[in-house]
Amino acid sequence: MNEQISIENFPLITPPPSPVQQRVDGFVSIQAISDSVAASSAWVGLLRQEIAKTIVGQEHLVERLLVGLLTGGHILLEGLPGLAKTLAVKTLAMAVSTEFRRIQFTPDMLPADIVGTQIYNPKDTTFEVKKGPIFSSLILADEINRAPAKVQSALLEAMQEKQVTIGDETFVLPELFLVLATQNPIEQEGTYPLPEAQVDRFMLKVVVGYPSMTEERMILDAVDHTDSKVVVNPIIGAREILASRRVVDSIYMDDKIKNYIVSLVCATRDPRSFQLDLNDYIETGASPRATINLKAVSRALAFLAGRGYVTPDDVKSAAMDVMRHRIRISYEAEAEAVTSEDIIRKILDTVPVP
């Protein structure tokens, strides 16, 4: 009764292509990704409209905040007082239906003021954990450079590991966790420079500039009614943002674009290999986090543009904010007033674009 069964008796079944194969095999699959991007990015325009209720102009700042949402990368906002850095983050938090906490950093802060502490309960003769404000999805770290080293170290674990240790216990932070920090570049009294390790944890460093004359006039007209309060409505929740992140991760990136990203980062470490005379200006080049973040930010920019594929312009647009804080310039560069931004512009102009 043991009948011999030959494989020839069965039709040949070809397995369906994987998502990666579908992306690589042709235009139709890339178009399918673009359709998925269009369907999952409908909230972007609505969110921009809500933010525009209180923020005039500052399109670059708003776009970078959206990139942070789509990638989960922390953002450092640097600019003079009064340029709407804090207001932009608070407005974003009102437009996103999730938990938000603002932490005002001061020189006398302790780590427990951020992560929480253990409190003794005399009734039960036990210690109870009281969680700090870091246990939220969106964190505004206002004037982060005013915090002493111990506070910044406590924040570093949360930013990198997305967890907090209190006593002997380790607590996992929310899946949607984003630190949006601000700092004033000109004030020196009562400030502490951020450690290089912590600065490298920020995906983007966004320099916020002055509004144009037209935008300044719009701001002037918008403050006629001081008693009226602008209502910003929640547009999207954590679940939708996390779903959009999965779509961002599926956006197609050609191997030539990947090689271009690697070339840009390696040019900061060994400029001579790319015919760049910058060795006297660069103390240390960008870390591998720059490579990883360039890929993520470029995909997010493609998502915001409604495309299912990354272009070299996406990489070039992301390069300045991703690398400006990861290049350490030398004393020679400081003496000649050469900034990390000047170096990045020279690299973008020299490295061949695919």
DSSP 309: B
* SS3 category, 173: coil
The answer to whether residues 186 and 284 belong to one domain is: no
Q: What angle do CA 320, 254, 260 make, to 5 degrees?
A: 40
CB of 54 closer than 8 Å to CB of 232: yes
The answer to whether residues 208 and 257 belong to one domain is: no
Q: What is the pLDDT of residue 19?
A: 43
What is the domain extent for residue 334? 251-354
What confidence tier does 190 reach under pLDDT thresholds 50, 70, 90? Answer: low
What confidence tier does 7 reach under pLDDT thresholds 50, 70, 90? Answer: very low
Q: pLDDT (tens digit, 9 = 90+) per residue, 101-141?
A: 999 998 888 888 898 888 877 877 778 888 889 999 999 99
Q: What is the pLDDT of residue 34?
A: 84
Q: What is the pLDDT of residue 299?
A: 95
The answer to whether residues 193 and 78 belong to one domain is: yes
Rounded CA-CA distance 236/275 in Å is 47
The answer to whether residues 201 and 287 belong to one domain is: no
For residues 316-338, average pLDDT? 91
Torsional sign, CA 206, 181, 102, 168 = positive
Domain boundary among 187, 208, 240: 240
Its pTM stands at 0.84
> How many separate domains does the chain show?
2
Q: Is residue 19 part of a domain?
A: no
The HSE-up count of residue 138 (CA atoms within 13 Å, CB side) is 21
Q: Torsion angle, CA of 134/138/143/148, rounded to 10 degrees?
A: 20
Per DSSP, the residues of 176-208 read S-EEEEEE-SS--TT--PPPHHHHHH-SEEEEP
- The tokens for 10 are 């069965």
Q: What is the pLDDT of residue 48?
A: 92
- The tokens for 327 are 């290049």
The answer to whether residues 58 and 203 belong to one domain is: yes
The answer to whether residues 200 and 261 belong to one domain is: no
The answer to whether residues 200 and 303 belong to one domain is: no
Rounded CA-CA distance 233/93 in Å is 10
- pLDDT of 228 strictly over 70: no
CATH code, 343: 1.10.8.80
Q: Is residue 14 part of a domain?
A: no
State the first-to-last Cα distance of the chain, in angstroms, to the nearest integer.
Answer: 65
Q: Is residue 168 part of a domain?
A: yes
The answer to whether residues 179 and 310 belong to one domain is: no
The answer to whether residues 217 and 259 belong to one domain is: no
- The tokens for 280 are 């006297």
Rounded CA-CA distance 199/190 in Å is 19
Q: What does the H/E/C string look like for 72-116?
A: CCCEEEECCCCCCHHHHHHHHHHHEECCEEEEECCCCCCCHHHHE
Rounded CA-CA distance 114/134 in Å is 6
Rounded CA-CA distance 121/128 in Å is 7
CATH code, 147: 3.40.50.300
The answer to whether residues 213 and 295 belong to one domain is: no
The answer to whether residues 279 and 213 belong to one domain is: no
